[in-house]
Structure 1
Amino acid sequence: MIELKDVSKTFTLHNQGSAVIEVINDVSLSVAKGECVALTGASGAGKSTLMRMIYGNYLTQAGEIRIGGVDLVQAEPREVIALRREVLGYVSQFLRVVPRVPTMEVVAEPMRAVGVSVKDAEARAKKLLSQLNIPERLWSLSPTTFSGGEQQRVNIARGFAHEYPAMLLDEPTASLDAANREVVLSLIEEAKARGAAIIGIFHDEAARDRVCDREIDVSAFTPKMAA
């Protein structure tokens, strides 16, 4: 479902004489349906960089990144947008939404974008918000007014609202209390059970051991660390 072949990434530092820094080199990996793979490695190894490359936020210098058969490296922008809408979900560490949009709409929007009815989308949104312990009195308010922990849980609800065939999870349990951590791990297990291919970054070792089938040490693809 997710396949990378010979993927490399460099950054050009234009304010430092156009120096070229090689950050990731020759990454090849695959993730099957129903599998969760953890990206591991020390800080600076390139875990988040690789995650952003898979989502299409960073361009690659070489290689292929295929999601459900579509090569993101060669895809047109409209194809990338369609893939993100229908196939590839991304739960980042921070919630980014349009101000003044109610929380219910924020969570329901990914489902509405793929044609789910308002009634069904709101029912799913209500279920997720309740599971993640967001009080009902807040559902009509913009999450931009919420605490950091509440925003994180809204972000997770939004990320799991549509049943994406492939998912990227960046520290989904970070800073959560025990009850909400358990909810998130259960959501990941449910996604795996329905066949989602998942790549995640988990600094929570116990969480990683519970939901991940295997680990990939990104340091092996980072020139300065592999040397």
Structure 2
Amino acid sequence: MIHIENVGKSFTLHNQGGVTIPVMAGAALSVAPGECVGLTGASGAGKSTLMRMVYGNYLATGGTLVVGDLDVTQALPREIIRLRREILGYVSQFLRVVPRVPTLDVVAEPLLVLGAARDKAEARAAELLARLNIPVRLWSLSPTTFSGGEQQRVNIARGFAHDYPALLLDEPTASLDAANREVVLQLIEEAKARGAAILGIFHDEGARARLCDRLVDVTDFTPRVAA
């Protein structure tokens, strides 16, 4: 479902004379349907960079990066948008939404853009918000006013509203209390059971041990520096 082969990435510092810094080379991994692969490596090793390339936020400077049947490195913008709507979900560490949009609408949106009936989309959103212990009194408010933990749970609810065939998870259990952490772990296990291919960053060692079928150390993809 996700296949990465010989992927590289470099950044050009335009405000520093156009210096190019290579940050990744030869990245290769695959994630099959129903499998969870965890990315490991020290802070700054490139875990989030690789995830952002998979999602199309960063353009790879080489190699192939296929999600479903689309090579993200060669895809047109409209193809990336379609991929994100239908195939590839992404739960990042931070909730980014339009201010003043009610929480229920924020969570229902992935289903609404796919043409789901509003009542069914809202019912799914309500189910997830309740499961993640977001009080009903908050559903009509913008999540931009919520605490960090509440925003994280809204972000998770939104990411699991649609049954994406592939999921990217960036620290989905960070800063959660034990009860909500367990809910999130169960949601991920349910996604695996229905066949979702999951690529994730889990600093929570217990979550990593419970969910991940394999670990990939992104340090192995650090470019070699000539002596």
Q: Where does residue 217 of structure 2 map in the other structure?
A: 217
How many residues align? The count is 226
Q: Please identify runs of 4+ aligned residues in structure 1 that moved more than 6 A.
A: none
Question: What letter matches 1:18 in structure 2?
Answer: G
Q: Where does residue 3 of structure 2 map in the other structure?
A: 3
The CA distance in 2 between the partners of 1:15 and 1:108, in whole Å, is: 41
Secondary structure of 2:5 counterpart: strand
Q: Where does residue 78 of structure 2 map in the other structure?
A: 78
Unaligned runs of 5+ in 1: none
Question: What letter matches 2:97 in structure 1?
Answer: V
Q: Where does residue 201 of structure 2 map in the other structure?
A: 201
TM-score by length of 2: 0.98
The CA distance in 2 between the partners of 1:189 and 1:202, in whole Å, is: 14
The CA distance in 2 between the partners of 1:58 and 1:71, in whole Å, is: 13
Q: Where does residue 38 of structure 1 map in the other structure?
A: 38
Q: Where does residue 88 of structure 1 map in the other structure?
A: 88
The CA distance in 2 between the partners of 1:2 and 1:96, in whole Å, is: 25
- Give yes or no for the alignment of 1:105 onto 2:92: no
- Over the matched positions of the two proteins, sequence identity in percent amounts to 73
> 110-119 or 85-94: which moved more?
110-119
Pairwise mapping of residues 13-162 of structure 1 onto structure 2 (< 5 A)?
13-162=13-162
The CA distance in 2 between the partners of 1:25 and 1:135, in whole Å, is: 46
Change (3 A) 1:179 1:224: farther
Shift of 1:106: 0.2
Question: What letter matches 1:164 in structure 2?
Answer: Y
User: What is the RMSD computed on CA atoms of the aligned residues?
Assistant: 1.1
Residue deviations 1:104-128 (CA, integer Å, cap 9, x gap)? 0000000111121111111111110
Secondary structure of 1:134 counterpart: coil
Secondary structure of 1:192 counterpart: helix
The CA distance in 2 between the partners of 1:35 and 1:115, in whole Å, is: 28
Shift of 1:224: 5.8
The CA distance in 1 between the partners of 2:91 and 2:182, in whole Å, is: 17
The CA distance in 2 between the partners of 1:26 and 1:220, in whole Å, is: 9
Residue deviations 1:14-51 (CA, integer Å, cap 9, x gap)? 22222111100011111000000000000110000000
Q: Where does residue 12 of structure 2 map in the other structure?
A: 12
The CA distance in 2 between the partners of 1:66 and 1:122, in whole Å, is: 32
Secondary structure of 2:174 counterpart: coil
Residue deviations 1:75-125 (CA, integer Å, cap 9, x gap)? 110000000000000000000000110000000000111121111111111
Secondary structure of 2:192 counterpart: helix
The CA distance in 2 between the partners of 1:73 and 1:224, in whole Å, is: 23
The CA distance in 2 between the partners of 1:7 and 1:214, in whole Å, is: 19
TM-score by length of 1: 0.98
The CA distance in 2 between the partners of 1:42 and 1:221, in whole Å, is: 12
The CA distance in 1 between the partners of 2:82 and 2:57, in whole Å, is: 14
